[in-house]
């Protein structure tokens, strides 16, 4: 699973070749998939506790997707039951005047994980080569330099002990239509509907192209991208849980050594 959806460094990505409805690893078996996710979730709980107790490593997850792609759903489901102590979510909205007065990584670096922490980026510095590129918010000469800058920034984080995983939740335009329609039809989803999303939807091809550039240019050994088939929510959550658990297991973390002589202590 870890391999199947990972973008290799320098791999040229054409998103039309990646099936957003793919469920091959579980053969479309939703029930079995949900069971597997629940098991992984228990594993994640334990690994997060170990990470926190060890207090050495830092873990950064980046979530990017088109509107309705499921970023919020992933945060809710994959981290269900995980101790909120030690897990933080950082959401990146349209930059404030203060943020705009600084370089684009300023607001990002401030909220990267500290030792023992997992931080989830709900959108990220990649918006600065996505929405910014699609809407020409800065000249091409400025955004086109950012891919290399981002690679250098992430390399520095990795060299200083941060494990970085980046997930692109891949849905297609039909699936987005259904999900936007649900936001219109279901009263308790109305709050999620932003009419601005329709203008972004009209720019679908431009966004896909901008995502292809991101995936082709910024997947590195130290900060890989994964293209997650996300039309099926259960499969999306399963794949991400699995990659996350495998990666955390690979860190070979240890609980800190106990104090000397615990076995001789008597509590009266």
Q: Which residues bind ligand AMP (CB under 6 A)?
A: 92-95, 123, 127-128, 131-132
Nearer to ligand AMP, 57 or 146 (CB): 146
The length of the chain in residues reads 268
Nearer to ligand AMP, 44 or 130 (CB): 130
Q: How far is the CB of 4 from ligand AMP (least distance, A)?
A: 28
Phi, then psi, of 221 in degrees rounded to 5: -60, -35
Nearer to ligand AMP, 16 or 96 (CB): 96
Q: How far is the CB of 194 from ligand AMP (least distance, A)?
A: 7
Nearer to ligand AMP, 40 or 62 (CB): 62
Q: How far is the CB of 172 from ligand AMP (least distance, A)?
A: 19
Nearer to ligand AMP, 139 or 261 (CB): 139
Q: How far is the CB of 196 from ligand AMP (least distance, A)?
A: 7
Q: How far is the CB of 186 from ligand AMP (least distance, A)?
A: 17
Tell me which residue has its CB nearest to ligand AMP.
127
Q: Please list the residues that pair with 167 across neighbouring strands.
A: 63, 226
Burial (CB count <10 Å: 0-12, 13-18, 19+), residue 30: middle
* CB neighbourhood size of 71 (10 A): 22
CA distance 115 to 113: 7
Nearer to ligand AMP, 91 or 247 (CB): 91
Q: How far is the CB of 35 from ligand AMP (least distance, A)?
A: 31
């Amino acid at each position: 699973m870890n391999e199947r959806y990972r973008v290799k460094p320098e791999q040229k990505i054409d998103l039309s070749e990646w099936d957003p409805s793919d469920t091959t690893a579980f053969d479309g078996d939703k029930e079995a998939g949900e069971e597997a996710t629940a098991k992984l979730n228990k594993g994640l709980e334990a690994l997060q506790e170990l990470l926190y107790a060890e207090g050495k490593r830092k873990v950064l997850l980046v979530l990017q997707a088109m509107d309705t792609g499921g970023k919020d759903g992933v945060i809710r489901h994959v981290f269900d039951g995980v101790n909120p102590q030690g897990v933080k979510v950082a959401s990146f909205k349209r930059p404030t005047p203060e943020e705009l007065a600084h370089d684009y990584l300023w607001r990002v670096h401030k909220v990267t994980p500290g030792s023992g922490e997992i931080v989830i980026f709900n959108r990220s510095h990649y918006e600065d080569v996505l929405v910014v590129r699609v809407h020409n918010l800065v000249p091409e000469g400025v955004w086109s330099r950012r891919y290399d800058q981002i690679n250098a920034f992430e390399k520095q984080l990795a060299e200083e002990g941060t494990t970085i995983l980046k997930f692109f939740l891949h849905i297609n335009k039909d699936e987005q239509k259904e999900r936007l329609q649900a936001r219109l039809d279901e009263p308790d989803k109305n709050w999620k509907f932003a009419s601005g999303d329709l203008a972004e939807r009209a720019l679908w091809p431009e966004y896909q192209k901008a995502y292809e550039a991101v995936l082709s240019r910024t997947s590195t050994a130290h900060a890989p991208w994964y293209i997650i088939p996300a039309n099926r929510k259960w499969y999306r959550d399963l794949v991400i849980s699995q990659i996350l658990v495998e990666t955390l297991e690979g860190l070979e973390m240890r609980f800190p050594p106990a104090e000397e002589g615990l076995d001789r202590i008597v509590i009266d």
